[in-house]
């Protein structure tokens, strides 16, 4: 075996050490990017959105006392349904799934702002305390009709 100088050993140690740190960072980074954003924990087959509950019957569903689920299908270039009435004070879990490309789901004037990716259900829970109208917009460029992709939520007494 070749005799190694003490400093060479130290440098070799640091070299291998930093290589491991580099790989670890790379691995963690790739893992973080490879997994879905926190709002998209449920997966769905984008080709079968129309047959997969609850998106086979999109719309507002009452799930409890003043609690609702609002299931919306996004596709180029529309939301289904595109007109929804919600009773004032309702706590609504909004679930959105796309049948084709990536769409956005931004509800102007609220904290609801989701990216809707094929293969995942994007969810957000929002309580609607004020009567009014909210416009839903697609804020991810999705093609020629992107700017036409809107829907409306009315909060009523
Ligand atoms: Cu859908 Cu832009």
* CA-to-CA dists, residue 115 to 18, 37, 98, angstroms: 36, 9, 10
In degrees, to the nearest 5, what angle opens at C-alpha 150 toward C-alphas 134 and 107? Answer: 35
Write out pLDDT tens, residues 83-116: 999 999 999 999 999 999 999 999 999 999 999 9
Q: How far is the C-alpha of 5 from the C-alpha of 26, rounded, in Å? A: 31
**Which residue CA neighbors atom 1 of ligand 1 most closely?**
103
- Spacing, Cα 110 to ligand 1 middle (Å): 19
Determine the atom of ligand 1 nearest the C-alpha atom of 76: 1
In degrees, to the nearest 5, what angle opens at C-alpha 103 toward C-alphas 56 and 143? Answer: 115
Q: Locate 132 and state its tokens.
A: 């009014």
pLDDT at residue 11 tops 90: no
- Spacing, Cα 56 to ligand 1 middle (Å): 21
Query: What is the span of the domain harbouring residue 3?
Result: 1-35
Determine the atom of ligand 1 nearest the C-alpha atom of 147: 2
Ligand 1 interacting residues, C-beta cut-off 6 A: 77, 103-104, 138, 140-142, 146, 149
Residues 134, 104, single domain; the answer is yes
ipTM value greater than 0.95: yes
150 and 135 in contact (C-beta within 8 Å)?
yes
Write out pLDDT tens, residues 57-84: 999 999 999 999 999 999 999 999 999 9
Count of C-beta atoms within a 10 Å radius of residue 137 = 16
Nearest to 113 by CA among 129, 136, 131, 133: 136
CATH number at residue 117: 2.60.40.420
Residues 77, 117, single domain; the answer is yes
Residues 89, 28, single domain; the answer is no
Please tell me the total count of domains within the chain. Answer: 2
- Spacing, Cα 146 to ligand 1 middle (Å): 4
Residues 135, 73, single domain; the answer is yes
């Amino acid at each position: 075996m070749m005799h190694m100088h003490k400093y060479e050993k130290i440098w070799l140690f640091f070299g291998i050490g930093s290589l491991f740190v580099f790989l670890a960072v790379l691995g963690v980074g790739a893992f973080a990017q490879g997994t879905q954003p926190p709002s998209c924990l449920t997966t769905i087959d984008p080709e079968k959105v129309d047959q997969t509950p609850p998106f086979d019957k999109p719309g507002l569903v009452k799930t409890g006392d003043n609690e609702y689920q609002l299931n919306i299908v996004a596709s180029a270039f529309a939301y289904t349904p595109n007109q929804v009435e919600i009773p004032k004070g309702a706590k609504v879990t909004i679930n959105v799934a796309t049948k084709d490309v990536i769409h956005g789901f931004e509800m102007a004037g609220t904290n609801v702002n989701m990216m809707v990716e094929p293969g995942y259900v994007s969810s957000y829970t929002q309580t609607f305390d004020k009567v009014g109208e909210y416009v839903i917009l697609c804020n991810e460029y999705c093609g020629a009709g992107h700017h036409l992709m809107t829907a409306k939520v009315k909060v009523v007494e």
